[in-house]
Amino acid sequence: MVGIIESSYYRVPSGGKKGNKPSKLTYHDVNGFVDQATVIASVKDILSHEFIDCGYRLMCSYLKKDDYLINHKKLYRIMKQANMLKLEHRINRSGSGRKFVKFRKVITSRPMECLEMDIKMVWIPSVGKNAYLLSIIDVHTRRILKDYFSFSIKQKQVINLLSLMLEEYQYPKNIVIRSDNGSQFIAKSVREYLGLIGVSQEFTHVATPEENSYVESYHGILKKEVFQRFEYRTFGEIEQILKRYVIFYNNVRHHRLLGRITPMEKWSQKKHLILIKKIAA
């Protein structure tokens, strides 16, 4: 009579939420259907790792690797009911105050095509001064190829680290190394060394860390997952933690932009391209 579509109203109100009730069981390839408490126990077991501190989306990837058949929506509901969501760490994606990259984005087709290096300061409470962490990351696979941790990093240490790295990875050709304009990177001896061995060097523009975004992102992850979570006082303590974390980051930690796999899994899939490019050259 009034022109309302029948599907938009009910003769008798249901008094509850519409749709099917959420399932209380989750399928596991080995154990069959398990209850919510078992899923929560598995989540807690994953989070018990000294370096894993993730949200429901990445946790879903870890559970799938542990033979669970579960999607991120169901896991969100389970973790929310168990008060395990880390809402205080959620990134604000509204766009306010956002800085957009104005320069060319790095596009790679193989490992060892473009590398990024940067130095991060690490406060050492026992001596009341900073130490320095030099990291080199492969852009294509996000693998940390080499790092060096010391109270002092000069151009000599940069050259030695690059030399060890190139020797270890069979000296592939056509490499581009990006860095900021730190004194260790713009030093004449470093530029001459890279020029002699045929490695191209690029410098980011002033005050544009987004042009070195991959290694900057890695150092940001270190801040969140290591420096804000672990208490340490001495250089030796944090040095050992960092050594364990690099192994974890390369071999265990799932990377969202790689398709929820680890950097080493990506490296294994693509490392044959290094030799192909080298032979072709």
Is 205 within the bounds of a domain?
A: yes
Q: Let me know whether 52 and 131 are in one domain.
A: no
220 falls in which pLDDT band (50, 70, 90)? Answer: very high
* Number of independent structural domains in the chain: 2
Distance CA 239, CA 221 (A): 16
Q: Does this model's pTM top 0.85?
A: no
Q: Which residues pair with 197 in a beta bridge?
A: none
Look up the domain containing 184 and give its range: 114-280
Q: Are residues 50 and 182 in the same domain?
A: no
69 and 187 co-located in one domain: no
Please check whether residue 109 lies inside any domain of the structure.
no
Identify whether 201 is part of a domain: yes
Per residue in 102-119, pLDDT (tens digit) is 455 788 899 999 999 999
CATH number (domain holding residue 137): 3.30.420.10
Which of 92 and 265 is assigned the larger pLDDT? 265
pLDDT score at 100: 39
pLDDT at residue 106, rounded to an integer: 81
Reply yes or no on whether the pLDDT at 224 is more than 80.
yes
Name the DSSP letter for residue 14.
-
| Residue with more model confidence, 12 or 45 | 45
Q: How much is the average pLDDT of 48-66?
A: 91
Please calculate the CA angle 65-250-197 and round it to the nearest 5 degrees: 145
Q: What is the mean pLDDT of residues 225-235?
A: 95
How does the average pLDDT of the chain come out, rounded?
Answer: 87
**Same-domain check for residues 123 and 198:** yes
How much is the pLDDT for 12? 65
121 and 65 inside one domain = no
Statement to judge: residues 53 and 128 lie in one domain: no
Work out the angle at residue 65's Cα, subtended by the Cα atoms of residues 59 and 71, and round it to the nearest 5 degrees: 55
Does one domain contain both 59 and 163? no
3-state secondary structure 226-237: HHCCCCCCCHHH
The verdict on 75 and 160 lying in the same domain is no
Asked if residue 172 and residue 38 are part of one domain, the reply reads no
70 belongs to a structural domain: yes
For residue 5, what pLDDT band results from cuts at 50, 70 and 90? confident
Residues 64 and 131 in one domain: no
Q: What is the pLDDT of residues 152-197, one digit of tens each?
A: 999 999 999 999 998 888 766 789 999 988 899 989 899 999 989 8
Q: Based on the domain organization, do 186 and 226 belong to the same domain?
A: yes
Residue 40 lies in a domain: yes
